[in-house]
Structure 1
């Protein structure tokens, strides 16, 4: 794989050792390809370091505090709640490091010579130049360089008081108060977590709908849920400037004003890491943002021996999508020039607020819809968390196409629904299955029945309405 002049050769070179890159290298090697995995740090995946796992660790602490505060509704009166911010943040880092170690240990299991610690840039469609002066000649190349948080101009000069999801978990203690810029998944999850941990949080967003929720009723449920723990300033523009012992945020909108915060979390997106790749030398067609155009079914860029995967392609920045894309890209790169389209899985995203918000599949105009209200649902009411709603979308024959929900147990209900969509099931198919009582799953029945009625179908005889309202 190398010669005395320092030139490396392989079948598939993968740039980036995150979730997509790891999957791409493994898939290519499984096809018998000689592979190289190139990364300057091999620090582990975004998910383990600064994404999914540390955010869920912070949320776990926030849920614990929230459960104690709401215990009196059950007649239980805990006294002396004290949140040790330093201990909260230390546990986040300790457990985060556990997940990171597991990822890094996987690199040690790669075949000798596979991992190349360097930065790579294109020298041609089949050629990469490394920072150490070596060159790689590959039959095919996979770009899996991931993404980085966007820091707009007003926030760049604020120093350590301006946080992103890659720096917030390094805080030694919980902030005194916090401004959050951006109402997407990162902003919402971390804002609510900090709010429940006793931090005074204000969230700002240009949009008036949080989390890009598609359905107005579901969007309102999400807004109500987050608004209990966080002050919301929606439909406004913001600017930032350094202030004594903090950051001054000025906002314009229906209630223009300004306030000083100890820290500001900037969560306005994560553009792909493509700078420095010298994409012009790869001969690829680019979109208006400088991202290579690619086929979603093959992950191939045009007709070139180059493939995209994960956050680098700016398509669907979710871990399970990055893993799937890496596997598709790696397998096709190994078999190039034979490229096989792969059927992509049903779109599926979850924002882990409480209650969580999920968006599944399609919500086409004119689709049959069925709604379920959880504000008086039996199991939810028993647990003192009766709120939220779901809407299901189906074709004229009742086949489920998608769903939007913000309910108790969303992350679990959403899995059931996305599996149903993926398997082409109808609302009638689901109603024909057993439902245990009392469960959150029973709460889906009104939505399923509504779709059956609109599709002109009669519900199964064994699915009567014997349970009283709210049960």
Structure 2
């Protein structure tokens, strides 16, 4: 017998539970299907556990710097990896339990545990259970991409998910992938006390960022003793008595690195390959991401895709915004669009990188006349007071419209201070509106008007 609902949500990640609350609150009878862990990537293997680990790593780092602040500690700083892992697991587990309790207590919502697969465009099967609805919302997330490297099947490796189970300190952690996830884990494990090497196929780290950002990030990591190997064109793996032999073809450095542990951090892939999308006629792109329009609707009427699986964003906040767009359009008669979203994100090394809008390189490609303002963190009072002066601030402005096109803040509190720029861009306000603000001292944000007051034409 087929059970009928007003709406079905597949996946209890960032967007799914909130949408369930809005739909049931509007009087709909809703089913939510989750095959694994409530809360999705952010709660279980992403933001919450990793930022808990970052916090532990920062505590270890600050303790080692105690004498810089006149705080004397007896003996070397030690870390207890089992307690560190348990703390992160507790943070994650508490959040997961809260999400599940909220859903199970939601009026008009039926929670179904199991693996959902389409049998047609309106029907899903979960084990022996069959459900149907005129509205189906996919929030199935993604997972770590395992690249087809030579020798990959012969060695043990970690991903961003499985490394969370590690309760010991690696002797030498080699991270393949010099972008956001890889760099966060690289720095945290270096601060826990491991030897760490980052191997990146491209010519520089975090290639989507401007070169000055990439070089500054590299310098920050190398100053902490992390080895960086870029230009690794031919990565290959083999078993070794000490763990894994990582072969690299770099312009400089030894051709082989011996790792006790190997972390793969080369990207993500969507969880769309086993949903039976072909039975529903739902189109995906060459990487498996569900194709959606500006309103997050798929090519099949009555089916939407939210979060990591639609390729429109790879962050918790973009997934939540997907929910907001769908809810506003479906329930409030709105006209919210993905294309109106201004991209913002952060890299959570220490100091963090806060980013919004275009990079300087992206802005240059538009052909606009640009104004660019920069300031080193060595000239930011708050950074000096904290003895955390690495990094710099940069703001890019359209010279003719006076609108801010993008910004980067690599420095202490950069992930928070960037919101001043993000808010101005969302308000579509010209930069003088922020230039003449009177911010609080001493903060990092107080330097935003200063940077704007020192804008100069971008060098050719």
Confirm or deny a common fold (TM above 0.5): yes
SS in 1 for 2:59: helix
CA contact (8 A) 2:282 2:300 kept: no
1:43-58 to 2 correspondences below 5 Å: 43-58=38-53
1:319 deviation in Å?
A: 0.3
**Structure 1's 196 and 42: CA in aligned 2 closer, same or farther, altered over 3 A?**
closer
**Structure 1's 373 and 252: CA in aligned 2 closer, same or farther, altered over 3 A?**
same
1:122 deviation in Å?
A: 1.6
CA contact (8 A) 1:20 1:322 kept: yes
Is 2:318 the counterpart of 1:306?
no
1:7-22 to 2 correspondences below 5 Å: 7-22=2-17
Q: Can you list the C-alpha shifts for 1:117-137, whole angstroms capped at 9, x where unaligned?
A: 2222122222222222x3222
Is 2:323 the counterpart of 1:326?
yes
Whole-angstrom CA distance in 1 between matches of 2:428 and 2:270: 33
Is 2:172 the counterpart of 1:177?
yes
Q: Can you list the C-alpha shifts for 1:158-193, whole angstroms capped at 9, x where unaligned?
A: 56x411111111112222220111122111111100
CA contact (8 A) 1:27 1:331 kept: no
Q: CA RMSD in A?
A: 2.3
Whole-angstrom CA distance in 1 between matches of 2:18 and 2:9: 10
**Structure 1's 15 and 331: CA in aligned 2 closer, same or farther, altered over 3 A?**
farther
SS in 2 for 1:25: helix
Which of 199, 216, 228 is the aligned partner of 1:232? Answer: 228
Is 2:377 the counterpart of 1:374?
yes
1:378-389 to 2 correspondences below 5 Å: 378-389=381-392
**How many residues are aligned here?**
444
Whole-angstrom CA distance in 2 between matches of 1:261 and 1:279: 40
1:116-131 to 2 correspondences below 5 Å: 116-131=112-127
**Structure 1's 430 and 112: CA in aligned 2 closer, same or farther, altered over 3 A?**
closer
Counterpart in the other structure of 1:423? 427
1:347 deviation in Å?
A: 0.8
SS in 2 for 1:48: helix
Q: Can you list the C-alpha shifts for 1:82-124, whole angstroms capped at 9, x where unaligned?
A: 2222322232223332222222222222236611122221222
**Structure 1's 375 and 150: CA in aligned 2 closer, same or farther, altered over 3 A?**
same
Greater alpha carbon shift after TM alignment, 72-81 vs 276-285: 72-81
Q: Can you list the C-alpha shifts for 1:319-378, whole angstroms capped at 9, x where unaligned?
A: 01111112333565679xx88443643211101111111220134223322222223333
1:39 deviation in Å?
A: 1.6
1:34-433 to 2 correspondences below 5 Å: 34-80=29-75, 81-111=77-107, 114-132=110-128, 134-154=129-149, 156-157=152-153, 161-229=156-224, 230-237=226-233, 238-255=235-252, 256-296=254-294, 298-302=295-299, 304-329=301-326, 340-342=335-337, 344-363=340-359, 364-365=363-364, 366=368, 367-395=370-398, 396-433=400-437
**Structure 1's 331 and 430: CA in aligned 2 closer, same or farther, altered over 3 A?**
closer
CA contact (8 A) 1:180 1:266 kept: yes
**Structure 1's 241 and 111: CA in aligned 2 closer, same or farther, altered over 3 A?**
farther
Whole-angstrom CA distance in 2 between matches of 1:112 and 1:158: 49
Whole-angstrom CA distance in 2 between matches of 1:92 and 1:292: 32
Greater alpha carbon shift after TM alignment, 316-325 vs 434-443: 434-443
The TM-score, its normalising length taken from structure 2, stands at 0.90
Counterpart in the other structure of 1:460? none
SS in 2 for 1:420: helix
CA contact (8 A) 1:203 1:232 kept: yes
- Could you say which structure has the greater relative contact order, defined with CA pairs below 8 angstroms and 6 or more residues apart? 1
